[in-house]
């Protein structure tokens, strides 16, 4: 297969933990041809969607891990599959890229995850489609409603709808300390919509990343455990990653959502679960492949490339 990865610059990869690198390594081990391009390399010339893409080969050297040929303009239909692995922020440039990738699909390209599905599933808001699995949740820009929610639940989490890596997440306890200031900051004085949820104490045992590939639950998850008094378990916020078997509840959530999300065009999904509750549905570039594989021996990248080969 000829596989193109839409990804961030390779020079910024931390290959000891990067899930895209794990995908590339597995694909290369099977003899697949690898190419890379960024969103900024996408072009529509009036007829076809193309990308200024470069072929790469992997060296196996941890300090000098790839060789890259000179980029050349290629139509996306010339690849067997395009794997979207660009990290957030999910800004307007990201959205424009999904429009171009969607156009390429209409011309015959295969894109994973499907661009329309990525665009339609805000990673915070998507959980509202599955209310049976979520904690008490409010989505609003109205300060009075946030205050009423706090009055009811006493201990709450507030977060922006476009954050990543735990950025912009606040906890407010029963004393309501700084609630007004936090609301003003996150909503830009009522101009931006935010999400508010009842605090889930089980965060102390970890924010679990449950991976679902081709509608199937990966048997191990990664618990991102908050450190040093933090409320956020995100690895980017200093959380400790501990792999463990998925629980019965995590499997229940994954098996309920997996087939639905796969049917929508989401081959790879990262479900975030705290305690018994679904808190996010990650669809842009879900991670934790390497941490799970290194700690359990279960090759997540192998399961993913198996799924990619089946759709070709």
224 as an active site residue: the answer is yes
310 as an active site residue: the answer is no
Q: How far apart are CA 84 and CA 225, in angstroms?
A: 28
Measuring CA to CA, how many Å separate 139 from each of 94, 128, 142, 158? Answer: 23, 9, 9, 10
Q: Which of 198, 232, 250, 262 is catalytic?
A: 232
175 as an active site residue: the answer is no
Q: Which of 224, 234, 262, 291 is catalytic?
A: 224
Q: Which of 18, 26, 280, 291 is catalytic?
A: 280
Q: How far apart are CA 132 and CA 253, in angstroms?
A: 10
Q: Which of 84, 85, 209, 291 is catalytic?
A: 209
Report whether 126 contacts 286 (CB < 8 A). no
CA 87 to chain centre: 8
Report whether 256 contacts 104 (CB < 8 A). no
Q: Which of 124, 250, 262, 291 is catalytic?
A: 124
DSSP 86: P
Beta-strand ranges (E) seen in 214-295 are: 216-217, 220-225, 240-245, 268-274, 277-282
249 as an active site residue: the answer is no
Angle ∠(143,145,149) on CA atoms, nearest 5: 115
280 as an active site residue: the answer is yes
**Non-local CB neighbours of 104 within 8 Å, separated by 6+ positions:** 48, 49, 76, 77, 82, 111
Q: How far apart are CA 26 and CA 240, in angstroms?
A: 26
Pairing mode, strands 2-7 and 137-140: unpaired
Q: Which of 85, 159, 198, 208 is catalytic?
A: 159
Torsion over CA of 128, 130, 135 and 137, rounded to 10 degrees? Answer: 20
- The residues annotated as belonging to the active site are 124, 159, 209, 224, 232, 272, 280, 282
């Amino acid at each position: 297969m000829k596989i193109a990865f839409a990804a961030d610059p390779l020079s910024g990869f931390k290959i000891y933990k990067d899930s895209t690198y794990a995908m590339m390594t597995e694909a290369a081990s099977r003899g697949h041809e690898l190419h890379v391009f960024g969103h900024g390399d996408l072009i529509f010339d009036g007829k076809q969607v193309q990308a200024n893409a470069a072929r790469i080969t992997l060296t196996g050297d941890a300090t000098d891990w790839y060789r890259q040929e000179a980029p050349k303009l290629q139509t996306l239909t010339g690849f067997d599959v395009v794997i979207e692995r660009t990290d957030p922020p999910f800004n307007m440039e990201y959205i424009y890229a999904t429009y171009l990738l969607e156009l390429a699909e209409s011309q015959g390209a295969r894109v994973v995850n499907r661009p329309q599905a990525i665009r339609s599933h805000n990673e915070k808001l998507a959980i509202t489609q599955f209310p049976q699995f979520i904690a008490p949740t409010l989505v609003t820009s109205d300060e009075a409603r946030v205050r009423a929610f706090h009055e009811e639940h006493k201990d709450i989490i507030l977060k922006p709808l476009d954050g990543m890596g735990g950025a912009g997440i606040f906890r407010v306890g029963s004393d309501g300390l700084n609630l007004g200031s936090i609301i003003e900051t996150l909503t830009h004085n009522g101009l931006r919509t935010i999400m508010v949820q009842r605090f889930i104490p089980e965060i102390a045992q970890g924010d679990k990343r449950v991976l679902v590939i081709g509608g199937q639950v990966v048997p191990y998850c990664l618990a991102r455990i908050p450190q040093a008094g933090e409320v956020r378990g995100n690895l980017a916020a200093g959380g400790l990653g501990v792999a463990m078997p998925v629980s019965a509840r995590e499997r229940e959530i994954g098996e309920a959502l997996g087939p639905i999300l796969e049917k929508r065009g989401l081959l790879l999904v990262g479900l975030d679960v705290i305690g018994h509750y679904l808190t996010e549905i990650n669809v842009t570039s879900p991670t934790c492949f390497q941490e799970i594989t290194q700690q359990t021996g279960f090759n997540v990248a192998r399961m993913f490339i198996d799924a990619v080969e089946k759709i070709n």
